[in-house]
Structure 1
């Protein structure tokens, strides 16, 4: 798994804000090398982004975590 550059973080944040319609969404650089890039909304971490490069093509996997306790009542 390759590290995500500062430029990629900025571009991912712009794209995810547009796609998800959430201007408060932030893509945060890891505090130290080797850790995951995190996605946060309203200062709460909601997931991670992982970069993959295969045969020269780059893709990003976004994993968003939703806790059952954060869901509205049934």
Structure 2
């Protein structure tokens, strides 16, 4: 997996904000080399983004984690 550039992070953030309908969503660069790019909503990290390049085509995988304790009661 390749590193995500600052330009890609900015473009991903705009795209995800539009697709998911939330201006509170941010795509945050890694704090240190080798760490994941994180997605947050209103400052709370909800997942990660990974970049993949295959035969010159670039794609991004978004992994969103929801903890059971954060779900409403059944």
Measured against the shorter chain, the TM-score band is over 0.9
Q: C-alpha distance in 2, partners of 1:72/1:21? A: 22
Shift of 1:15: 0.3
Map 1:6-21 onto structure 2 (within 5 A): 6-21=6-21
Q: C-alpha distance in 2, partners of 1:17/1:70? A: 22
The RMSD of aligned alpha carbons is: 0.5
What's the TM-score, normalizing by structure 1?
0.97
Map 1:39-50 onto structure 2 (within 5 A): 39-50=39-50
Aligned length: 74
Which runs of 5 or more structure 2 residues have no equivalent in the other structure? Answer: none
Q: C-alpha distance in 2, partners of 1:20/1:2? A: 25
Runs of 4+ in structure 1 displaced over 4 angstroms? none
What's the TM-score, normalizing by structure 2?
0.97
